[in-house]
Amino acid sequence: MKFISTRGGECVTGAQAIAQGIACDGGLFVPETFPPVSKEELEAMLPMSYAERAAAVLYKYLDDYDLEELKAACEKAYGKFEEGDAAPLVKIDTSLYMLELFHGPTCAFKDLALTLLPYLLRKGCDLSGIKEQILILVATSGDTGKAALEGFKDAEGVKIMVFYPHDGVSKMQKLQMATQEGKNVNVLGVRGNFDECQSAVKRIFTDEDCREDLKKRGYILSSANSINFGRLAPQIAYYFSAYLDLVSSGQIELGDKVNFAVPTGNFGNILAAYYAKRMGLPVGKLICASNKNNILTDFFRTGVYDKRREFYKTMSPSMDILISSNLERLLFEFAERSPVRVSMRMQKLAEEGMYRLYEDELEAMQQEFWADFCDEEQTVETIYDFFEEYQYPMDTHTACAMYAASVYMAENKKDGAPMVVVSTASPYKFPQDVMYAITGNDIKDSFKAIKHLNIATAMKVPASLAGLRDKPVRFTAVADREDLYANVLSFVEKG
Ligand SMILES: *Cc1c(COP(=O)(O)O)cnc(C)c1O
């Protein structure tokens, strides 16, 4: 399987696509074709464990890797999840399910990809003949940073530095990063919002002088952000697994369609669902849920992507994004895979802050996607309502998806397909907001909120969050956007 750039020009192997992260022309790597999965193959996957299913899906794209080695890597990565199940499916009501992706080391769905990425990246570099040390720079809106730090801590031949918007992440997210262990890690707060933080990090990636300079010091740059195909590929697997679980538990017949509702920010998670569908998984509608930053809702409704709008800080910070990087991959598919059309739009977005789809592209997209957004009040209400009715506590991001799913189901009664809502974080990651939504109590201290949330819901507290309280804080530095590279250099020079 070969990978091509959304902006044309480049054609590489899976290993190279992952090692490189982003194409030289600034585009994103996409598979040359979608590898089909037949009904017989789906049947054969029914009795498999999650790790085996994941390896089977990954190998469809990464056929330059070794299948047995991939299996072993998946088993190791997903062995780090609570109770040995990386993606359990929970039935909430008739035709309504939760795909819980928060049982990993950092309690967010990013763990599904980032526990595996160290292997995919190291192997990708080895297969591509890259001998240098890898320096990973990550811009995070909260959850990616911690999951990447945890995934790469003390990995051989790798250093990782994470940048987060100083005032743009939750208390718990900040504490998770500030207390990170490992000899090869660094964390820096950046003044500005997530988009500004991400742009500043991107500038280092695209600056030839920085690259040269780092190379002289024995490092090559790589990214653990969701633009890396190595982040996307492991996410495709859980859509297959959720579907197979519905079949093996007798909820559906193999071949029946299933809808997925996904809380969306950078468009990585929901794009993986679309890739699964293109491979042949019987998926109906994909529900793209946003928070008050509803640029994607507007996009799917009107075909206009317009980032010239106010940026809101919400209680679902991992979705506080105006530039969804992975949307470029979707655009490529609906623009008849024309790199010229994609480049034109990306240039227009950079220069004018907006672009517009053709009418037929929009119509084709609306066949596959349905979008809505959930404001702050609706987030609180959704958490409250579902706890009242089902005693099921959900986090603030998941609530956005549940809200959108509910609206879709109410408006499209004829679509009888089961709905799987993708749950992306543990409620304990945002304990104050969830506690407030469920009980009306406004608790300032995160650990007190965890304790009371546990009393109110009887849901088990993840050990990794409860344990944060006693961990020493290692990283408190904050920098201006102009000073990121200087900070990178001093981290690299520390040896
Ligand atoms: C990252 C994240 C999202 C958004 O996922 P994308 O792949 O960026 O669309 C949603 N919820 C949580 C909890 C997240 O950490």
Q: What is the pLDDT of residue 251?
A: 97
| CA 425–ligand 1 middle distance (angstroms) | 9
Q: What is the pLDDT of residue 170?
A: 84
Residue 112 lies in a domain: no
Tracing tokens 């999965």 back to the chain, one arrives at 37
Testing ligand 1's pocket by substitution, the residue of 397, 398, 402 carrying the most ligand atoms inside 8 A of its CB is 397
Ligand 1 pocket, 265 CB below 6 A? Answer: yes
Atom of ligand 1 at shortest range from CA of 142: 15
Distance CA 190, CA 184 (A): 20
Residue 115 lies in a domain: no
Q: What is the pLDDT of residue 362?
A: 98
Distance CA 366, CA 120 (A): 34
DSSP-assigned letters across all residues of 33-96: SPPP--HHHHHHHTTS-HHHHHHHHHHHH-TTS-HHHHHHHHHHHHTTSGGG-SS-EEEEETTE
Inter-CA distances, 362 with 219, 273, 293, 336, 369, Å: 43, 19, 21, 12, 10
Atom of ligand 1 at shortest range from CA of 424: 13
Inter-CA distances, 286 with 264, 294, 299, Å: 11, 16, 14
How many C-beta neighbours within 10 Å does residue 257 have?
A: 16
Is 2 labeled as catalytic in the residue annotation?
A: no
Distance CA 177, CA 227 (A): 21
**CATH code at position 445:** 3.40.50.1100
Q: Residue 403: which domain range?
A: 89-106+230-467
CA atoms within 13 A on the CB side of 148: 31
| CA 263–ligand 1 middle distance (angstroms) | 6
Distance CA 274, CA 370 (A): 12
| CA 181–ligand 1 middle distance (angstroms) | 23
Distance CA 346, CA 332 (A): 11
Residue 210 lies in a domain: no
Residue 430 lies in a domain: yes
Atom of ligand 1 at shortest range from CA of 102: 13
DSSP-assigned letters across all residues of 156-194: TTEEEEEEEETTSS-HHHHHHHHT---TTEEEEEESS-H
Contact (CB, 8 A) for 478 and 177: no
Helices (H), 304-375: 327-334, 339-352, 359-368
pTM: 0.95
Residue 361 lies in a domain: yes
Residue 460 lies in a domain: yes
List beta partners, residue 2.
13
Ligand 1 pocket, 319 CB below 6 A? Answer: yes
Closest CA to 346 of 89, 26, 55, 18: 26
| CA 235–ligand 1 middle distance (angstroms) | 12
Sites in the chain below the pLDDT cut of 50: none
Catalytic residue among 60, 110, 159, 429: 110
State the total domains in the chain. 1
Q: What is the pLDDT of residue 330?
A: 98
The full length of the chain comes to 495
Ligand 1 pocket, 291 CB below 6 A? Answer: no
Ligand 1 pocket, 226 CB below 6 A? Answer: yes
Contact (CB, 8 A) for 462 and 111: no
Atom of ligand 1 at shortest range from CA of 264: 9
| CA 143–ligand 1 middle distance (angstroms) | 8
pLDDT digits (tens, 9 = 90+) for 118-147: 999 999 999 999 989 999 999 998 789 999
Residue 194 lies in a domain: no
Q: What is the pLDDT of residue 494?
A: 82
Q: What is the pLDDT of residue 195?
A: 84
Contact (CB, 8 A) for 239 and 272: yes
Ligand 1 pocket, 318 CB below 6 A? Answer: yes
Testing ligand 1's pocket by substitution, the residue of 102, 266, 291, 395 carrying the most ligand atoms inside 8 A of its CB is 266
Where are the strands (E) in 256-386, listed by range?
A: 258-263, 283-290, 304-306, 354-356, 369-373
Distance CA 321, CA 197 (A): 11
Residue 312 lies in a domain: yes
| CA 459–ligand 1 middle distance (angstroms) | 22
Beta strands at 2-5 and 29-31: parallel, antiparallel or unpaired: antiparallel
